[in-house]
A and B are shown apart, each in its own frame.
Chain A
């Protein structure tokens, strides 16, 4: 198991918009920060569920593409170099004697003084395929997520699904793969109309009304049998790799077992964004309080509140009120200059 021995001031769980803003804010308050997410990319719902949609209600942006909002938030946080750990699912929490907190993930252990939960709706777990043969090939030719697009270069690929994720990946991988098919069990696509148009005009062989029946092969995939349900006709495709994107189900998962006070699958917080667990704050979609609205803008506000109180709690000499960034940053610049001369 990997262990990063450094004890960070704050560990943020979830790199959605709210987690990214919390990481920025921690830096602004001179705290060092680590951010952990189980997905292979940052952005949470913005990049997982609606990367190509425009968001219109983020203050200061008349209109911004969800992907760009995620990138901007990343850039803003990056000014303070937070440590970002991706593809790590946070599992357990332990309180150590020196009042530090240890978090365990499926890969490593992490230490920090405070934890901010910005886990949104939880871990997006991909929905799995039903055929028995699917289990055998999971992660051995059959994948539910893309970690590295290069991996698919030269592969004979079958993409399954009719939503934005399936279409976005199929369109992205179509020129890298040696051959590419897409099957969808309906003839109506959930994906954006523009992507469907692009798909239909591409080199991707598309089969609608079609489901996967069986995966062929022993220790690696040697083909896939598909069935066209409208005419009940089977066909064998010559593929060696399958990418299945038939949706996600969100689940708070192991965090539910921490002893947090929950309301459904959200976490109750007080006006300082503190949960009932010492040193653990929550913000964004996962946090709930009287009158809570689950929006990006309220999530940003939650994050600022959580970090400011956490800052004061770690370093009592730091005031809760951060001052105005306009002044604070100016002072910091001056201090830097004075330091140099």
Chain B
């Protein structure tokens, strides 16, 4: 059942939309829905690992404090609409992106590497059966 009144949060790049309670922090929402968002300092505005980039609905979040801004400045890939997930409370529908580094990148790397290995094996088999052909391009696409 979709509750019309509950704010909806979309997390990118996983593209998962979930419902949140008004006043919940983005970090709490992510945790509740098994979306991986780092939080080294336990949500206390002291580490910037919960960095997210707001793609839409910036005004639906609680105001940014100076403390949050200072901490944010240490975040990798800082953007004008960057926020700390643990400090931003939700008051409406929003779309946020978890920057593509750290844990998410690690997971991606694994799939990338697996794909690479498969392609290499394929190429190897091909070149074995047909010594004239060149191994295909292995970089790039992960699908």
Contact = CB atoms under 8 A, between A and B. Distances in A.
Interface residues of A, number: 25
Contact of A49 (B44, B69, B74): B44
Interface of A: 45, 49-50, 121-122, 124, 163-165, 185-188, 190-191, 247-252, 264-266, 294
B117 to A, nearest CB: 30
A248 B28 CA distance: 15
Interface of B: 28, 31-32, 34, 39-46, 65-67, 69-71, 73-74, 86
Nearest to A249: B45
Please list the 8 inter-chain residue pairs (A to B) with the smallest Cβ-Cβ separation, ordered nearest first.
A188-B31, A163-B42, A264-B70, A265-B66, A264-B66, A190-B42, A49-B41, A248-B44
Most buried by A among B32, B44, B65, B66: B44
Contact of B31 (A45, A186, A264, A265): A186
Contacts of B86: 247
B43 A247 contact: yes
A117 to B, nearest CB: 15
Contacts of A45: 41, 46
A45 B31 CA distance: 23
B63 to A, nearest CB: 13
Nearest to A250: B67
A164 B42 contact: yes
B67 A188 contact: no
A247 B42 contact: yes
Contacts of B69: 264
A222 B34 CA distance: 36
Contact of B32 (A165, A186, A191, A248): A186
B67 A50 contact: no
A250 B46 contact: yes
A264 B42 CA distance: 22
Contacts of B41: 45, 49-50
